[in-house]
Amino acid sequence: MRIALFGATGDLGKELLNQGLREGHAIQAFVRNPDKLNTKHDLLEIVPTDVIKDSLDSLAAKIADHDLVISALGTGMNPGITKIYSEGTAKIVQAMQLAKIKRLIAVSSCGTDPTLDEPWWFLWLIRRLFINVYVDMARMEERIINTQNLEWIIVRPTRLTNGEHQKYRVNLTHSPENGGEISRADVAQFILEQLQQDTYLRKFPALSY
């Protein structure tokens, strides 16, 4: 498939990129700073893009002719005020509509889930530290689900690690009970499995071990 990938310079984005290329997908990576991406592959094209500053028409032209979009946009470990999730994703969705691309797989977090099953002190600490990120992620989710005719899947992983593949759980009603983490490798694998499947269409699969 032809995949438009945003956020390819992040840790999860790089994992998505590498796994996707190994599976034989043609990927265009839309990145603000191409120097941060050293991957070379015949199926990869790196496209300098600022999703906030680029015009809507320019962004739509760049993603035209793709089968779907994957958004792994993020702020890294920066807990400051951000609009990259909400405004960046809103721009991507608008561009998708102009380019007539229907499917979007977006990465959010279990931290946006009010039913998250973790000790109260952990929730207090994490949400206090990353309140700006979670608020903007929640705005992103709202903008996605309120877009008509969009085939969206919003993936909510728990804390991301650099571990190997393991058996993991997927829950749709709330975050998996006693689930604290999952590897980026497994999240990327799950996302790539959804490229042509409708099992989690317009749902919020939460992932954890």
pLDDT at 114: 56
Domain 2-208 classification at class level: alpha beta
Q: Which two tokens stand for residue 188?
A: 């990327």
Q: pTM value?
A: 0.90
Q: Which pLDDT does position 175 carry in this prediction? A: 74
56-107 confidence digits (pLDDT tens): 999 999 999 999 999 999 876 555 557 899 999 999 999 999 999 999 999 9
Domain boundaries, the chain: 2-208
> What would the mean pLDDT of 31-36 be, rounded to a whole number?
94
